[in-house]
Amino acid sequence: MNVWFYEDQTPDLRIGLRVGRVVHHERSPYQEILVADTDQWGRMLALDNVIQTNETTEFVYHEMMAHVALFAHPNPERVLVVGGGDGGVIREVVKHPTVRQAVLAEIDEKVIEAARRWLPSISSGLDDPRTRIDVGDGIDHVARSPDTYDVIIVDSTDPVGPAVGLFSEEFYRSAFRALRDGGLFVAQTESPFYNADLIRRVQQALRNVFPWSGMYWGVVPEYPGGFWAMSIGSRGGDPRRVPAGRYAERRFETFATRYYAPDVHAAAFVLPPFVLELLPDGAPQRREAYVERFLPGAGEEAGEEAGGSGEGEDSGGPGGPAR
């Protein structure tokens, strides 16, 4: 069959996938939901004609959205995923034996239903006994959950429609309040190639709210540009550093990850100059890259500021300092 699905990744850039069978198509109150079989990536989910996930390459995004913050946190027990109705991030979250409750706050129950029925390898974590699903606006959920979560992960659609507020400083302040001491916040924040202004704004907003904020990345073939930014804020220590021993304690050997690994954790925080430029001047990663390296002497001051207060800061474990 020669039927093609096209996504306009920018107004001037389009990608196409050959589609075999359309297995599900509906219009929910929030968006157009399409599940289709493709030759390249197997089954895929698109919302409003934007590819969200697929069976073949989904592991990169879902692993990197979940494990960086969960391994950076000393004891993540309560985790919130905002959006994420396909269940892929929750599937990774519940791999951590410390997790007692994983809450999914997804606005569109039709996405959850479609993923459960048509994408079982991605949605499997939704049936874990520790998972609780709250259908509704994640912004409201976060606002009514003060001092509740150890990790909050925003797995949202692009900043249009109901997802717009998930990219605002007001929401980050609310998320800060919803975190317990030492908590971590992660959000998918689009492409450094095509969404530089958005990333700049998000990074500045996180910097205004969290004592430590920064960015890491992963290679996500299904998203525009392939090089995907994840923004992170910490109420505790520097998330680049994972103490030696934590991977063994959590039995990392049972996780069966295909992208995330202790050294990938550290490497993901190393940013090329064109991406570092998107971070505000005072952000630790940017200061270290430019100040410590090229202005010897000023480095001590930059290092102190980047250190944070968490237990991981002087451990130098497998995920040791990024640079």
Residue 156 burial (C-beta neighbours within 10 Å; 0-12, 13-18, 19+): buried
Active site residue 155: yes
CB of 85 to ligand SAM, least distance (A): 4
**Residue from the set 86, 150, 238, 292 that interacts with ligand SAM by CB under 6 A:** 86
Q: Does 199 bind ligand SAM (CB under 6 A)?
A: no
Q: Which amino acid is at 142?
A: V
SS3 120: helix
Nearest residue to 187 via CA among 202, 204, 209: 202
**Residue from the set 148, 157, 203, 204 that interacts with ligand SAM by CB under 6 A:** 157
Q: Is there a contact between 120 and 58 (Cβ–Cβ < 8 Å)?
A: no
Q: Which amino acid is at 107?
A: I
198/289 with CB nearer ligand SAM: 198
182-to-176, 195, 310, 317 alpha-carbon distances in Å? 10, 29, 7, 19
What track of x and - describes contact with ligand SAM for positions 24 through 63 (by CB under 6 A)?
A: ------x----------------x----xx-------x--
The enclosing H or E element of 209 equals helix 196-209
Q: Does 106 bind ligand SAM (CB under 6 A)?
A: yes
**Window of 73-81, 152-160, 270-278, 282-290 that interacts with ligand SAM by CB under 6 A:** 152-160
- Rounded-to-integer distance, Cα 67 and Cα 229, Å: 15
- Rounded-to-integer distance, Cα 7 and Cα 46, Å: 9
Report the residue closest to ligand SAM, judged by CB: 83
Helices and strands of the chain, counted as H and E runs: 13, 12
Give me the catalytic one of 86, 155, 158, 238: 155
Q: Does 198 bind ligand SAM (CB under 6 A)?
A: no
CB of 210 to ligand SAM, least distance (A): 20
Question: Which residues are part of the catalytic machinery?
Answer: 155
Write out the residues near ligand SAM by the rule CB under 6 A. Answer: 30, 47, 52-53, 61, 82-86, 105-108, 111, 137-139, 155-157, 162-163, 166, 188
